[in-house]
Structure 1
Amino acid sequence: MRSRTEGMWWGTAIEAPDPGALARFYSELLGWPIGHEEPGTAVVVAPGGPVYLVFQQADDYRPPVWPPAEGQQRPMMHFDFQVGDLDSAVADAIALGASPAGHQPQENVRVLLDPAGHPFCLCKEADEAGGVVQDGS
């Protein structure tokens, strides 16, 4: 977009039945602060960057189905987060309220559902030979 300049913020908005609770989940998961909260809206802000996640009230919210199923609410978007240790990242997310999805399409990716049912992926980057990169610890 030509009118954008360096340092301008950008982000995405996610519908949820309880935006404050979902913002707190992602704030804890990512270690990002909640920058703003009011009835019906909560914003999680990336430290040191122009990125934000806004969670908005949706009274008629229906959680998406993963994997997509005909006639059901499809996921319209999902987050991908690269992690250094897949097993510990999954355990951390579950401890915060996520649940593992029943369908796991890749060995180096774990699909989880956030507390509102949105799918998100934790990804362990593969090396050039297709294997999983080890974190060295």
Structure 2
Amino acid sequence: MAPRPVHLVVAAEQPARLARFWSDLLGWRLATESPAEAAVQPPPGDGCDLTLLFAPATRPKTGKNRLHLDLSSTSGENQRETVARAVSLGARPIDIGQRDVPWIVLADPEDNEFCVLEPREEYAGSGAIAAIVVDAANPAQLARFWSPLTAWPIAAEEPAVTTLRNPAGRGPALEFLRAKTPKHGKNRLHLDLALALHDDHTAETRRLQAAGAHPVPADQPHVAPTDFTDPENNEFRLLPPL
């Protein structure tokens, strides 16, 4: 079986503070909170299978993130309410060159970019988060790496964006968006994937490498790698079964 996405990990200067922002904005539960790590979990009715994990940052943010969240809305009024709530919690509107578009671009209290989308039919069943968006030089090619990795099929393919959807039909999409954003060190956001119960880590590592992933050497010799980068150098982690 393919690994399943379980966490979106966000590096933060103040993990607990940033977790509280996202918990209040999304209406999700603050499951754990400590100086070292904080976790925010969706309610059962949201449809999202991912926990947001906030971990200590090892370096300051430089440049635009290569991964960001798109938030859904059900109406123009709902979009405006979400933007107003985000700003009241510490977000701010930003200009990243988006010009005249129907979505609103914001930065959270640690300057991580996110968008509040206008109502879109394709996200009607997505819950609070419409999509996890990954900047890509070649969206279609990168999506074809991630699709078999996660067992999420390609749901839509356009010249500028390729979309994967959870086979369950709920929760956020995983979208690869054409962009020329340069990579500045390690990404501040990355995905964790968990192996299925009877999957073999060594066999999965071989499969990943054959598909174009690159293992990040472990600190200790003779230890199987858990950290990888995809074909466009985006980090992700392979966890044991959860």
TM-score by length of 2: 0.43
Q: CA RMSD in A?
A: 2.2
- Kept in 1: contact 2:14–2:35 (CA 8 A): no
Please tell me the residue identity of whatever aligns with 1:56: A
Please tell me the residue identity of whatever aligns with 2:109: P
> SS at 1:75's partner residue?
coil
Q: Report what 1:135 is aligned to.
A: none
Q: 2:111 aligns with which of 106, 117, 124?
A: 117
**C-alpha distance in structure 2 between counterparts of 1:93 and 1:25, whole Å:** 8
Whether 2:23 is the aligned partner of 1:24: answer: no
As a proportion of its length, which structure holds more helix?
2
Runs of 4+ residues over 3 Å off in structure 1: none
Q: Report what 1:68 is aligned to.
A: none
**C-alpha distance in structure 2 between counterparts of 1:104 and 1:74, whole Å:** 12
TM superposition shift of 1:76: 2.2
**C-alpha distance in structure 1 between counterparts of 2:103 and 2:55, whole Å:** 27
Deviations 1:46-68 (A, max 9, x none): 11153210011114222x4xxxx
Structure 2: gaps (5+ residues): 122-242
**C-alpha distance in structure 2 between counterparts of 1:102 and 1:74, whole Å:** 11
**Pair member with larger Rg:** 2
TM superposition shift of 1:33: 0.7
Q: Report what 1:50 is aligned to.
A: 49
Deviations 1:30-53 (A, max 9, x none): 000111122221000011153210
Whether 2:66 is the aligned partner of 1:76: answer: yes
> SS at 1:43's partner residue?
strand
Whether 2:29 is the aligned partner of 1:39: answer: no
| Identity across the alignment (%) | 30
